[in-house]
Amino acid sequence: MTLRHSLSEELNRQGNEHFSRGYYTEAYTCYAKALEYDRFTGDQRALVATLGNLGNICAVSGRRDSAQAHYHEVLELQKLLGDEKGIGTTLANLGNLRADAGEWDRAQAYYLEALDLMTKTHDEPAQAVLFSDLGLVARETGRFEEAIQFYERSLELMRRLSNLGGVADAWRMIGRTFLTQKRYDEAIACCQTSQSVAERLRDELRAGGARYVLAQCYEEMGRLQDAVDLLDQVVCMDRKYRLPKLEENTQRLQALRARLTDPYQSRPCRGMQA
């Protein structure tokens, strides 16, 4: 392995570590430096890894056009390399971009194409995530029972694979679906399970995600103090990790506190998303 290749791998490793902790700016810097090395060496497999990471960081940072460009370049390289397993993952990532834009039909088309390849390659970890993605599409298009079925398939696979982070995610998404249906007791039970699993993992971001949905449950039920207590923890986490919803969640918290001090104020806050 050349020095440049080892530097690329190390930069991607550092970027992944920053990414997992929510430090997106630092992660992007590492991936961008790795890309310079990979362009120089022309190593196609290294390029696939780095471009995929860049696509992911752009996607979570709201830079969908850049993410799409990276994913399409990855897809072309994977086709040249005959990497069907990788193609399935990239198609799912492209579906995620369309889902982020609210283009549910296009998202589902990507997901179903990806599912065919994941089934063919027996890629169960990727399928576990994809079932959750399909659940999101079903939920957002009003097919709630179908959504819960997809989430339950994801939960089953995550358990079988001993992916506790995925288990926490699946419980949160089931809870979010129940919340959409105003089935508050079931939603709260699911989110509390998600939070408990995340806390056992010491995963602050996942625990915060569960609290985020719980806060909305309590707000809609009129339990404003409980909602404020949870959302305050979410805002602290947003600030700690410099997450993109910090300003939105801070404004929401302020509005909830105002409603606590003025019981006659009934103006609803903007809805949250899981």
| pLDDT at residue 104, as a whole number | 98
Contacts of 85 (CB under 8 A, 6+ apart): 117, 118, 121, 123, 126
Spatial distance between the Cα atoms of 96 and 114, rounded to a whole number of angstroms? 11
Within the chain, strands assigned E span: none
Spatial distance between the Cα atoms of 201 and 199, rounded to a whole number of angstroms? 5
| pLDDT at residue 271, as a whole number | 40
Residue 252 pLDDT exceeds 50: yes
Residue 114 pLDDT exceeds 50: yes
User: Which of these, 225, 202, 203, 138, lies nearest to 176 by C-alpha position?
Assistant: 138
Residue 269 pLDDT exceeds 80: no
For residues 56 and 93, the answer to whether their CB atoms sit within 8 Å is: yes
Q: What are phi and psi of 267, to 5 degrees?
A: -65, 120
User: Which of these, 109, 50, 98, 97, lies nearest to 74 by C-alpha position?
Assistant: 50
| pLDDT at residue 244, as a whole number | 79
Contacts of 163 (CB under 8 A, 6+ apart): 125, 128
Confidence of residue 263 (pLDDT cuts 50, 70, 90): low
Residues 249-255, mean pLDDT to the nearest whole number = 96
Spatial distance between the Cα atoms of 11 and 17, rounded to a whole number of angstroms? 10
Confidence of residue 22 (pLDDT cuts 50, 70, 90): confident
Spatial distance between the Cα atoms of 49 and 15, rounded to a whole number of angstroms? 12
| pLDDT at residue 1, as a whole number | 42
**pLDDT per residue as tens digits for the range 206-226:** 999 999 999 999 999 999 999
Share of the chain above pLDDT 90, in %: 88
The mean of the pLDDT values for the chain is 93
Angle in degrees, 0-180, between the axes of helices 3-20 and 24-41, rounded to the nearest 10: 160
Domains of the chain: 163-274 (1.25.40.10)
Confidence of residue 5 (pLDDT cuts 50, 70, 90): low
Residue 163 pLDDT exceeds 90: yes
Confidence of residue 21 (pLDDT cuts 50, 70, 90): confident
| pLDDT at residue 220, as a whole number | 97
Return the higher-pLDDT residue of 256 and 20: 256
